[in-house]
């Protein structure tokens, strides 16, 4: 079963909006075991949208049109699909009423244009989920199918998850279960991970199941992604468990978490479990560490706070970093204190060198780190490395 994505909107071609929808849909299709070999972007032009959908229907079994379902005259996806189906576009009165009520309930006045969203090609079905005012469409054309979902990411995602993906799986006769797991790492370079996993990946290539891929993700570390395809949920879980075990055996302590567990989450959890608290003196990282920690709701019991300020000049880099950490320790009365100071141009250090300092239960740990990349990256790498320093000390203790 093959499915093609057609993203519709002139603003996508002009680069005003980056087409993250197609990427997300591509990922969901892959996880559902549906092949996707082309993705096309096309502007708000009737002939060109029509040509794109017709070609997609020729080379694939299913087409997902994303965008062009809004209320304005530019939004013509419904009209084009009716043409491709060779049917009329008719107003659905029940849907029109529903849309009217949505506007009423929100206390907004509806422009008459909004009723265009209640139009439906004869024979097409509305998609059940409707988080906005634009209903999606499910249009069978012979053995094939065209879906239309809005370009608003939240609305698109709800329709994809609730209707499109299950419908595609039903049509493809797929009963297998595809599950993924992301093993999150920090402390090994991408090429080092490649080296360490290369044998295992070659072995897995023989069966193609499970698969391993990895990706550098800045402040979120390097992600190793496992995908398993099995007959049952239980079998998929077992396969992922086994593979995770293998990957952990190879990558060791570099593995800090799974899936959505960020380094911040992991460190805050480790600290909370030990009744410890955290504070920081952010000289080089300038508030990034604090903004990441406070992005997680309800962390202020464990994360006591941070000071963003220049460090006071010390006799050496190390003295300076330790003094900064002591200042934060006094200000916030925390059991773990972090500080990062840029080392470039001092004590003979080249660009990209940062001094990371952690005081954990009174014991000072200072490490000199060298990172590739510009200042933006250097600040991000410093944040995840500081937290990783704490993590490694806590799990070793």
Q: Which residues bind a copy of itself (CB under 8 A)?
A: 12-20, 22-28, 30, 36-43, 45, 48, 52, 213, 215, 282, 285-295, 297, 300, 304-310, 331-332, 375-376, 379
What is the nearest approach in angstroms of a copy of itself to the Cβ of residue 240?
18
CA 303 → CA 267, 289, 294, distances in Å? 10, 11, 8
Judged by CB, which is closer to a copy of itself: 266, or 324?
324
What is the nearest approach in angstroms of a copy of itself to the Cβ of residue 59?
8
Judged by CB, which is closer to a copy of itself: 77, or 120?
77
Q: How many CB atoms lie within 10 A of CB 240?
A: 20
Judged by CB, which is closer to a copy of itself: 5, or 188?
5
Q: How far apart are the first and last CA of the chain?
A: 52
User: DSSP alpha helices (H): ranges in 209-283?
Assistant: 233-251, 263-273
What is the nearest approach in angstroms of a copy of itself to the Cβ of residue 52?
7
CA 16 → CA 19, 122, 362, distances in Å? 10, 34, 51
Do β-strands 336-342 and 278-282 pair in parallel, antiparallel, or remain unpaired? Answer: parallel
Closest C-alpha to 26, from 9, 6, 51: 6
Q: In the sheet that 255-258 helps form, which strands lie side by side, from edge to edge?
A: 211-216, 222-230, 177-185, 255-258
Judged by CB, which is closer to a copy of itself: 171, or 225?
225
Judged by CB, which is closer to a copy of itself: 119, or 285?
285
**DSSP category for residue 136:** -
Which two structure tokens, joined as six digits, stand for 361?
A: 């239960």
What is the nearest approach in angstroms of a copy of itself to the Cβ of residue 47?
10
What is the nearest approach in angstroms of a copy of itself to the Cβ of residue 113?
14
What is the nearest approach in angstroms of a copy of itself to the Cβ of residue 152?
13
Judged by CB, which is closer to a copy of itself: 26, or 253?
26
Which two structure tokens, joined as six digits, stand for 218?
A: 């800045």
């Amino acid at each position: 079963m093959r499915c093609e994505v057609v993203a519709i909107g002139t603003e996508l071609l002009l680069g005003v909006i980056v087409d993250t929808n197609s990427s997300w849909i591509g990922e969901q299709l892959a996880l559902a075991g549906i092949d996707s070999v082309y993705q096309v972007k096309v502007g708000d032009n009737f002939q060109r949208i029509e040509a794109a959908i017709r070609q997609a229907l020729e080379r694939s079994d299913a087409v997902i049109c994303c965008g062009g379902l809004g209320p304005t005259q530019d939004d013509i996806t419904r009209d084009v699909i009716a043409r491709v189906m060779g049917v009329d576009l008719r107003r659905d009165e029940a849907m029109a009423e529903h849309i009217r009520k949505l506007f009423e309930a929100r206390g907004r006045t509806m422009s008459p244009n909004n009723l265009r969203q209640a139009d439906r090609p004869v024979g097409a079905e509305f998609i059940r989920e409707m988080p906005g005012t634009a209903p999606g469409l499910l249009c069978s054309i012979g053995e094939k199918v065209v879906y239309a979902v809005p370009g608003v990411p939240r609305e698109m995602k709800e329709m994809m998850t609730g209707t499109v993906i299950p419908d595609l799986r039903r049509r493809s006769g797929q009963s297998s279960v595809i599950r993924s797991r992301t093993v999150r790492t920090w402390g090994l370079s991408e090429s080092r991970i490649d080296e360490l996993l290369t044998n295992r990946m070659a072995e897995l290539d023989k069966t193609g199941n499970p698969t391993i891929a990895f990706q550098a993700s800045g402040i979120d570390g390097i992600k190793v992604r496992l995908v398993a395809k099995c007959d049952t949920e239980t079998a998929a879980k077992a396969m992922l468990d086994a593979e995770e075990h293998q990957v952990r055996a190879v990558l060791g302590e570099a593995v800090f978490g799974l899936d959505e567990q960020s380094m911040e989450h992991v460190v805050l959890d480790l600290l909370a479990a030990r009744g410890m608290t955290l504070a920081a003196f952010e000289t080089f990282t300038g508030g990034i560490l604090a903004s990441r920690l406070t992005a997680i709701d309800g962390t202020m019991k464990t994360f006591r706070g941070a000071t963003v300020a220049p460090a006071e000049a010390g006799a050496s880099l190390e003295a300076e970093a330790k003094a900064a950490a002591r200042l934060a320790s006094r200000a916030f009365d925390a059991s773990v204190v972090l500080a990062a100071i840029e080392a470039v141009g001092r004590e003979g250090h080249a660009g990209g060198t940062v001094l990371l300092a952690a005081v954990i239960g009174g014991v000072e740990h200072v490490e000199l780190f060298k990172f590739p990349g510009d200042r933006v990256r250097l600040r991000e790498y410093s944040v995840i490395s500081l937290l990783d320093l704490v993590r490694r000390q806590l799990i070793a203790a």
